[in-house]
Structure 1
Amino acid sequence: MKNRNVFVLTHPQESDDRRFIVKENVFTDDRKVHYYVNNELLQSLKHENLISYYGYIVESNLILTFFDYMPAGSLQDLYNQQGQIQESKCFNYAEQILEGLQYLHSRRIAHMNIR
């Protein structure tokens, strides 16, 4: 994903039999504070319907952010594989998504990237 001076690459890594996602962001100095604040916020979030956040590493103008790896992928991946999702499962997924959003909103946080 490219957004002004931000480039995001996502790839699974393995460490100690645990899989996680590493997001790489390249940024200019004026965006560095934004990433520090965002990562501190992510560290404070704990909910069963949110992907777990493990931390970050900063190297020069590169920040690596570590999240839980979701082997089943996204809802889009599921739809692409199956072509159709049962109505009962759709309701279940929607309920889980809304519970996660309710948690964020209760903490006065807007997600800003729901796809």
Structure 2
Amino acid sequence: MSFDPEYHEDAPTKEDIGQTTGKVVLDFGANWCPYCQEVSPALHSLLSEADNVQHIRVADGKGKPLGRSYRVKLWPTLVLLKDGKPVAQLVRPSADTATRELAAFLEP
């Protein structure tokens, strides 16, 4: 899987996310956010080599429906999903926390 370093405005809908299969990392943040930039290398390291996960980076902000549906208030927020259902949510994790939690999530 290739790692996309940019957060994108064209977010999927909550219904689209609910219909996903397999493992998904829904990554809410902003391209200018220093916290997001700090965690990004750890995400890149893990997710660029993961074949069993889909990574969706969503540019979040006030009034954005997808972020609000997951109660996102701080960036980055990582929502870990399996078959469309949230299994964990990491709110502004440190690089170490993100690495540890994602490594466990990515195990087969």
* TM-score scaled by length of structure 2: 0.31
Structure whose residues are more often strand by fraction: 1
More helix by share: 1
- The structure number with the bigger radius of gyration is 1
- Bigger relative contact order, structure 1 or 2, given CA contacts below 8 A and separation 6+? 2
